[in-house]
Structure 1
Amino acid sequence: MAFRTILSFIVPLVCCSAVLAEEIRLNPSHPDRYTVVEGDTLWDISGKFLKNPGQWPLLWSYNSQIKNPHLIYPGDTVYFSMVNGQPRLSFSPTETAAVSPSSGPCVLNEADIQNGRTSFALSPEGKLQPCIRESATAKAVQLIPAGAIQKFLSLPRVLGENELNQAPYIVDIAGEHLIAGNGDKVYVRAIERPDSLTYAVYREGDILRNPTTQEVLGHEAKYIADLTLQEPGDPATLTITQAKGEIRAGDRVLPIGEEEVMLNYFPVPPEESIKGSIIGVLDGVTQIGRYNVVVIDKGISDGLKTGHELDIYQRGKVASDPYSPVKNDTVQMPDEYAGKLMVFRPFNRVSYALVMQAQRNIHVLDKVQTPE
């Protein structure tokens, strides 16, 4: 697949007066120290110290000892303290057993190299012993589990009106099959001057609408399979390399471009005031919780970018008031804070976002907005 993704999640450490002026809100139950375990994410770790994990870059920026918070590994320990009224973090990497200069095998680890180690193991005759260079195999913790969004970074798509209907389509399946699968060949109309060697099969999905005005915001194209071009023409010949579902004649085909997604953002609030709603949830999920992917009714045209975070509010229900003197009186209950999400794939008028926190049940039509 030509689509490439970089999941680096580098935390920006640029500080300006406006950033430093922001008040860091601490988690009231924060620990004095925390040792990273396998499966932790930067978001998990930040939530142990901060009320709003999105302020993590602020806390890092005060601490010169921690050069790059992305290079934290399981077993490392983060220490918290207050110095002159300001929160501080200190950092202790995983301890490794010291090797005696005169006994045992000589092991040269990354810390030895960085610190310029000068003492090494000697043989009984006083000769320098050869050293084994030891490299860490553990992976640094990520902002979020990469697998939570990997399959949504390129597929499915949100298209304009009639865009999918104008795409090339499968006219027949080789071998007289009615339904095609992995390894089968298909014939596609009108790919005579190909823009790519890799394609994907799509089928018409949901129509995405503004929940208030019912205005159409986009048309979802459901991903079905990957194809590789074998022979251009009308029809062109393509081979199915990976199928998520059944492939039928009439399914539409779109090229997969040489696109690169850079997810090198820690969640930050958008500069604009955004107020929108969750209008869908991907991957067949019915109960929305942490690390589920949702669709919101705001996108690039509204000022949203990759890495923007929004608060989620559970819509208050309308409750009947049997004690009111007004017959059939109802009361609108207030919206309740429910969690946070991070935009990772914005389209023109809608966006895909990952639920980062879920403090209560989240539903389609719940509100999203710029954090206060």
Structure 2
Amino acid sequence: MDYCIKFRLVMYLCVFAVISVFPFSSCAEESETSVEHEAGVYYSIQKGDTLWDLSHRFLDSPWQWPDMWSENSQIANPHRIYPGNRIRLFQRKDVARWVDTDLDKEVVEKKDPLYYFYPSIDKIGFIKKEPVTHRGTIIEVKDDKKIISKGDLVYIRPNEDTSFIPGNKFTVYRTLKPLRERRTNSYIGIQHYLTGIVEITKIEPKFAVARVVQSFRSIEVNDLLMPYVKRSPKIILTESKKELKGKIIVSEEHASIIGDNTVAFIDKGNKDGVKPGQMYTIFYQEKKRLDPKTKGDVYLTPVYFGTLIVLHTEETTSAVFLTSAEKSIYPGADIHLTEP
């Protein structure tokens, strides 16, 4: 697979296929069956579009329209598609990129650009140098349940500077032990691990009562609260940082071996020019001494074996989704933007 071609800048519409089946946590309470779209790249139909034209534009052949239709079961009649409807794009196995040869300017200027749809964006955590200031702590669950899940009532001790109001929503989280760089032991930050969402239902003099409205993972007594901010699942694809070189810190679940369809964190963030919607490759590069008589080693050609998209950024780190992996990925793996 030619990753160099695959990762052309989005502004030139060389968008690669990051279509994937979204992973669901086994301990999450909510089902994602009600989600309108799976994770993937989407295009909003414009006036005058036909599947024939779109197949020519993105798949380099108008004769691929039946395949585009088969990937979009919501289209009852392939000859009747309507402006505003969204179709999911896929990539032909024999074509390394999506193509738009004569409509680049028109497509770039459209109001609805291509985007990656990530249904469970609200459950994506983050890494910060310093922990966020929490607004309260879960101190008990009604009926003393051992597993806290959707619909349960929990009792919350507010932070001394917090005043709860019925109807307010909060993200439930806990912080994990500080992360350090594996080789240098330099401090990276603290992971904020999101477990669910609660809504305040009742205020008492010393505590508040809240109902669990979403459970991403097992919620526990002593989990903390931060204000809930709704995030859009539409990640607009954007131009990647050309000179960026970084590393994967760890997967969100701290797996020793990381595969595709996994959320992980990288050691680059806002200050490095990283933005949601950027895409990068995962690679390794070996050193070899070409002449045994000399002391100098040379770097061999990089080997690309995975791809990722940025979902969320902090100042020095970012949360990413691994869209493909041809081999096992380990914490510390290198990433960058490939150019032809």
TM-score range, shorter chain: 0.5 to 0.7
Shift, 1:69, TM fit? 5.7
Cα separation, 2, equivalents of 1:88 and 1:172: 55
Shift, 1:189, TM fit? 1.1
Equivalent residue letter for 2:195: I
Aligned to 2:6: 52
Aligned to 1:118: none
Equivalent residue letter for 2:152: D
Change (3 A) 1:209 1:73: farther
Aligned length: 273
Cα separation, 2, equivalents of 1:371 and 1:196: 47
Change (3 A) 1:189 1:75: farther
Aligned to 2:210: 238
Higher relative contact order (Cα pairs below 8 Å, separated by 6+ residues): 2
Change (3 A) 1:361 1:317: farther
1:74–1:138 contact (8 Å) kept in structure 2: no
Cα separation, 2, equivalents of 1:315 and 1:339: 13
Aligned to 1:185: 153
Shift, 1:313, TM fit? 1.6
Aligned to 2:94: none
Shift, 1:206, TM fit? 4.7
Is residue 2:250 matched to residue 1:250?
Answer: no
Shift, 1:304, TM fit? 0.7
Equivalent residue letter for 2:209: T
Shift, 1:202, TM fit? 1.4
Gap runs ≥5 in structure 2? 16-41, 68-75, 91-113
Aligned to 2:246: 276
CA RMSD of aligned residues (A): 4.7
Equivalent of 1:221 in 182, 185, 192: 192
1:209–1:297 contact (8 Å) kept in structure 2: no
Tell me the SS of whatever aligns to 2:250.
strand
Equivalent residue letter for 2:174: R
Question: Can you list the C-alpha shifts for 1:220-267, whole angstroms capped at 9, x where unaligned?
Answer: 12222321110235301101233344443322122212444652215x
Aligned to 2:55: 78
Question: Can you list the C-alpha shifts for 1:12-65, whole angstroms capped at 9, x where unaligned?
Answer: xxxxxxxxxxxxxxx89xxxxxxxxxxxxxxxxxx8xx932535763689xxxx
Change (3 A) 1:186 1:195: closer
Gap runs ≥5 in structure 1? 1-26, 29-46, 62-67, 81-86, 96-107, 115-134
Give the TM-score normalised by the residue count of structure 2: 0.61
Aligned to 1:314: 284
Identity, in percent, stands at 19
Aligned to 2:125: 156
Equivalent of 1:170 in 138, 142, 145: 138
Change (3 A) 1:73 1:348: farther
Aligned to 1:91: 62
Aligned to 2:321: 354
Tell me the SS of whatever aligns to 1:225.
strand
Change (3 A) 1:139 1:284: farther
Question: Can you list the C-alpha shifts for 1:78-115, whole angstroms capped at 9, x where unaligned?
Answer: 359xxxxxx994536559xxxxxxxxxxxx9685799x
Aligned to 1:300: 270
Cα separation, 2, equivalents of 1:259 and 1:178: 30
Shift, 1:348, TM fit? 1.3
